[in-house]
């Protein structure tokens, strides 16, 4: 599989972008013209640098407003094109992207467009250059790949083919199946982009909100399946206009981009089944079944004793000290929290690592490595389990582990058989603005979790966007919270993460915890008045909820009772009881929590 990326996907100057693409293992780049124009290097220098970095220059783009024009305008087109062909020769690029006309088209006639493309192709041929004609979703007359292919067919010139772009096809809801009818040798280039489901004009959607495959809502494995069935064996190239990626470290973005293509190739091969074997260009990843339980959560700080007080109040048992590290284990049924006192850690206790229960970690770790997840190195001593771990985009370490393998390293605690059925229900991680989409791809590709629809919650300092990543049976739920953008410290400090613990009888559990000194977050009285109007609950139940500061939600499948502890450092706990098949997180109650926590 040959991978390529358009320079417009990355921030920085052209040379920086090229270094980043090479570092992330791309084979090729598409040169986005404004990047070249603004670069101080000559075309010859760019060509030589690409050669040294092992990058080929696969495409020059875009050439606009080329066809569907009257003859006098077409003379100008040929003049413009010839200057670009000479430039491409200096760069050593033999493929140019020609977009369907947006601004200057006056003739809505396939024969005219085809005739002009043919003449452009004849001129290009004298420079050894080929043209890939692409239907833009907002083209004046040509906005459908089926029409651009008809025009290319009519043009009937060996140097004129089509470029297919998943964004332009899927954003318009066009069926990609007919791609299979295009002869492979006429598909000159393939550009891939994902995007969130947004209802806005397609031009703004395209220019600001494209995403890498696996980060949005498009079914790209199905799309790529059609292209592969058509026989296309050229580069898979990413063309992603995204406001955030324009601002972030290009090396990091390029790695994320490469990860997305490796994931996409694997998913597409899986979809094609035996057919895929004919296409060696789609490498597979080691298989990974999504974990169905959290193995542990680690909280780190110079002093975690404030957290341990909360754990004891909640009902956790002390599970022992680690034999070689300043680490203590706390257990409550299947919920395991590890408190790690590290003098050099940042002062506020926070979630340093999340373990996912993976019985056989070797293939999972091999998969993560192939997806360029940065490995974590922790010192292990003789007789200790060398756990496999990777750093997620927000810096939280992700362990692929299994409690039975490592619990023996803790001594002096009570037995794990405490008769409780508690477990970790979900772990809520706050994401910095620049790594939210990257995190979605990370958990999708590395852990095979599935992104759920995003939700927005109004807090006193702005809207919080939340996206849950979950396993098929709901055993692992990982809400990722994106704080309001624009805040200087968004995601950097002061915003708490949390661990939600599920139990069967929250009313009894909270009553007992209060006896041990737990003070749940105080819920305002107005909340309970509204609860009566909203759900028609019995007076008795509302009195109990009010007395215990419990929040309540209901969906068609069940009920949800929950409450929060105070925050210690940057972490707090939630107790939850899911009744029947309730599948949410009480999002309607989140504004109450956010206002109350803000004080």
Q: Which residues are documented as binding site for a divalent metal cation? A: 134, 165, 191, 239
- In the list 71, 83, 103, 419, the residue contacting a copy of itself (rule: CB under 8 A) is 83
Q: Are 147 and 110 in contact (CB under 8 A)?
A: yes
Identify which range of 147-155, 393-401, 441-449, 591-599 contacts a copy of itself by CB under 8 A: 591-599
196 touches a copy of itself (CB under 8 A) = no
Following DSSP, what letter does each residue of 402-445 receive, concatenated? -HHHHGGGEEE---S--S---EEEEEEEEE-GGGHHHHHHHHHH
Q: Which is nearer to a copy of itself, 9 or 352 (CB)?
A: 9
Q: Site residues for a copy of itself, window 475-514 (CB under 8 A)?
A: 484-490, 492
Q: Which is nearer to a copy of itself, 39 or 496 (CB)?
A: 39
CA angle, residues 382, 384, 389, in degrees to nearest 5: 125
Q: Which is nearer to a copy of itself, 409 or 549 (CB)?
A: 549
409: its two tokens: 């390293």
214: its two tokens: 């696996």
Q: Which is nearer to a copy of itself, 11 or 452 (CB)?
A: 11
- 254 Cβ partners below 8 Å, 6+ apart? 5, 9, 10, 20, 21, 23, 24, 26
Following DSSP, what letter does each residue of 450-477 receive, concatenated? EEPPPEEEEETTEEEEEEEEE-TTSS-E
Q: Cis peptide before 593, with omega less than 30 degrees from 0?
A: no
Q: Which is nearer to a copy of itself, 290 or 531 (CB)?
A: 531
- In the list 200, 280, 359, 414, the residue contacting a copy of itself (rule: CB under 8 A) is 200
Extract the annotated binding site: 134, 165, 191, 239, 426, 498, 574
Q: Site residues for a copy of itself, window 9-28 (CB under 8 A)?
A: 11-13, 16
- In the list 40, 453, 540, 556, the residue contacting a copy of itself (rule: CB under 8 A) is 40
**Per-residue mark of binding to a copy of itself, 288-317 (x: CB under 8 A):** ------------------------------
Please give the Cα distance from 594 to 599 (Å, whole number): 9
Q: Which is nearer to a copy of itself, 516 or 534 (CB)?
A: 534
43 touches a copy of itself (CB under 8 A) = yes
- CA nearest neighbour of 480 among 448, 424, 423, 437: 437
Q: Are 531 and 542 in contact (CB under 8 A)?
A: yes
Q: Which is nearer to a copy of itself, 247 or 326 (CB)?
A: 247
442: its two tokens: 């990370």
Task: Give me the residue label for tokens 């849950």.
Answer: 468
Please give the Cα distance from 511 to 518 (Å, whole number): 9
- In the list 279, 328, 434, 562, the residue contacting a copy of itself (rule: CB under 8 A) is 434
Please give the Cα distance from 144 to 148 (Å, whole number): 7
Q: Site residues for a copy of itself, window 203-242 (CB under 8 A)?
A: 204, 208
Identify which range of 192-200, 227-235, 251-259, 281-289 contacts a copy of itself by CB under 8 A: 192-200
Q: What is the DSSP letter of 343?
A: T
**Per-residue mark of binding to a copy of itself, 508-547 (x: CB under 8 A):** --------------x-xxxx-xx-xxx-x-----------
Q: Site residues for a copy of itself, window 247-266 (CB under 8 A)?
A: 247
- In the list 145, 167, 189, 433, the residue contacting a copy of itself (rule: CB under 8 A) is 433
Identify which range of 146-154, 194-202, 310-318, 344-352 contacts a copy of itself by CB under 8 A: 194-202
Find the shortest distance in angstroms from Cβ 129 to a copy of itself.
Answer: 15
Counting residues that bind a copy of itself (by CB under 8 A) gives 62
Q: Which is nearer to a copy of itself, 17 or 336 (CB)?
A: 17
Q: Which is nearer to a copy of itself, 70 or 530 (CB)?
A: 530
CA separation, residue 544 to residues 280, 449, 507, 531 (Å) = 63, 37, 8, 13
Following DSSP, what letter does each residue of 233-302 receive, concatenated? -S-EEE---BTTGGGS-HHHHHHHHHHHHHHHHHHHHHHHGGGGGG-TTSPPPPP-PPP-SEEEEEEEES
Q: Which is nearer to a copy of itself, 408 or 524 (CB)?
A: 524
Q: Which is nearer to a copy of itself, 204 or 504 (CB)?
A: 204
339 touches a copy of itself (CB under 8 A) = no
- 71 Cβ partners below 8 Å, 6+ apart? none
207: its two tokens: 């220019």
Find the shortest distance in angstroms from Cβ 256 to a copy of itself.
Answer: 16
Q: Are 324 and 428 in contact (CB under 8 A)?
A: no
- In the list 363, 462, 494, 584, the residue contacting a copy of itself (rule: CB under 8 A) is 462
Q: What is the DSSP letter of 350?
A: E
Find the shortest distance in angstroms from Cβ 592 to a copy of itself.
Answer: 5
**Per-residue mark of binding to a copy of itself, 53-82 (x: CB under 8 A):** -----------------------x--xx--
Positive/negative CA dihedral, 222, 226, 228, 233: negative
Strand pairing category for 558-564 and 551-555: antiparallel
Residues 304-324, buried b or exposed e (16+ Cβ, 10 A)?
bebbbebbbbbbbbbbbbbee
Q: What is the DSSP letter of 484?
A: P
Identify which range of 120-128, 197-205, 266-274, 305-313 contacts a copy of itself by CB under 8 A: 197-205
Q: Which is nearer to a copy of itself, 32 or 330 (CB)?
A: 32
177 touches a copy of itself (CB under 8 A) = no
Find the shortest distance in angstroms from Cβ 517 to a copy of itself.
Answer: 22
Extract the annotated binding site for Mg(2+): 426, 498, 574
User: Could you give the 3-state DSSP secondary structure of residue 329?
Assistant: strand
89 touches a copy of itself (CB under 8 A) = no
Find the shortest distance in angstroms from Cβ 72 to a copy of itself.
Answer: 13
Residues that bind a copy of itself (CB under 8 A): 11-13, 16, 33-34, 36-43, 76, 79-80, 83-84, 87, 198-201, 204, 208, 243-244, 246-247, 433-434, 458, 460-463, 484-490, 492, 522, 524-527, 529-530, 532-534, 536, 591-592, 594-596, 598
């Amino acid at each position: 599989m040959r991978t390529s990326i358009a320079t417009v996907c990355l921030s920085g100057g052209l040379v920086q972008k090229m270094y980043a693409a090479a570092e992330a293992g791309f084979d090729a780049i598409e040169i986005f013209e404004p990047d070249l124009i603004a670069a101080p290097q000559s075309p010859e220098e760019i060509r030589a640098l690409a050669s040294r970095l092992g990058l080929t220059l696969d495409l020059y783009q875009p050439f606009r407003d080329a066809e569907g024009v009257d003859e006098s305008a077409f003379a100008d087109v040929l003049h413009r094109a010839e200057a670009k062909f000479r430039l491409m020769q200096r760069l050593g690029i033999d493929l140019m992207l020609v977009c369907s006309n947006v601004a200057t088209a006056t003739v809505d006639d396939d024969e005219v467009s085809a005739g002009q493309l043919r003449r452009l192709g004849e001129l290009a041929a004298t420079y050894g250059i080929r043209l890939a004609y692409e239907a833009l979703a907002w083209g004046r007359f040509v906005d459908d790949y089926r029409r651009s292919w008809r025009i290319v067919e009519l043009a009937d010139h060996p140097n004129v083919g089509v470029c297919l772009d998943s964004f332009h096809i899927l954003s318009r809801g066009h069926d990609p199946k007919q791609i299979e009818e295009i002869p492979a040798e006429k598909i000159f280039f393939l550009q891939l982009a994902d995007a969130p489901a947004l209802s806005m004009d397609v031009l703004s959607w395209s220019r600001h909100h494209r995403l890498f495959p696996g980060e949005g809502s498009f079914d790209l494995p199905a799309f790529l399946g059609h292209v592969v069935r058509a026989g296309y064996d050229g580069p898979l190239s990413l063309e992603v206009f995204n406001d955030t990626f324009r601002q972030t470290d290009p090396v990091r973005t390029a790695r994320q981009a490469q990860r997305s293509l490796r994931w996409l190739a694997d998913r597409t091969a899986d979809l094609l089944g035996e057919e895929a074997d004919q296409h060696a260009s789609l490498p597979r990843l080691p298989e990974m079944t999504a974990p169905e339980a959290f193995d542990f959560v680690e909280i780190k700080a110079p002093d975690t004793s404030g957290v341990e007080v909360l754990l004891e109040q909640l009902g956790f048992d002390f599970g022992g000290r680690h034999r070689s590290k300043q680490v203590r284990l706390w257990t409550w049924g299947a919920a395991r929290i590890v408190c790690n006192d590290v003098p050099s850690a940042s002062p506020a206790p926070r979630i340093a690592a999340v373990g996912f229960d993976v019985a056989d970690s070797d293939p999972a770790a091999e998969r993560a490595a192939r997806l360029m997840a940065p490995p974590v190195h922790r010192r292990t001593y003789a007789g200790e389990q060398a756990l496999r771990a990777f750093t997620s985009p927000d810096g939280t370490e992700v362990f692929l582990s299994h409690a039975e393998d490592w619990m023996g390293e803790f001594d002096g605690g009570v037995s794990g058989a405490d008769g409780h059925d508690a477990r970790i229900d979900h772990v809520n991680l706050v994401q910095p603005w620049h790594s939210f989409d990257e995190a979605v791809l990370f958990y999708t590709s590395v852990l095979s979790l599935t992104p759920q629809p995003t939700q927005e919650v109004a807090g006193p300092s702005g809207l919080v966007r939340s996206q849950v990543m979950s396993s098929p049976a709901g055993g692992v739920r990982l809400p990722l919270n994106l704080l309001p953008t624009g805040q200087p410290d968004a995601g950097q400090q002061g915003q708490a993460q949390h661990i939600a613990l599920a139990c069967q009888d929250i009313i009894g559990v909270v009553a007992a915890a209060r006896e041990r000194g737990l003070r749940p977050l105080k819920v305002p009285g107005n909340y309970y008045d509204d609860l009566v109007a909203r759900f028609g609950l019995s007076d008795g139940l509302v009195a109990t909820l009010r007395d215990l500061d419990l929040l309540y939600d209901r969906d068609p499948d069940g009920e949800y009772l929950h409450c929060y502890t105070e925050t210690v450092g940057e972490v707090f706990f939630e107790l939850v009881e899911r009744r029947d098949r309730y599948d949410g997180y009480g999002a309607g109650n989140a504004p109450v929590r956010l206002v109350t926590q803000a004080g």
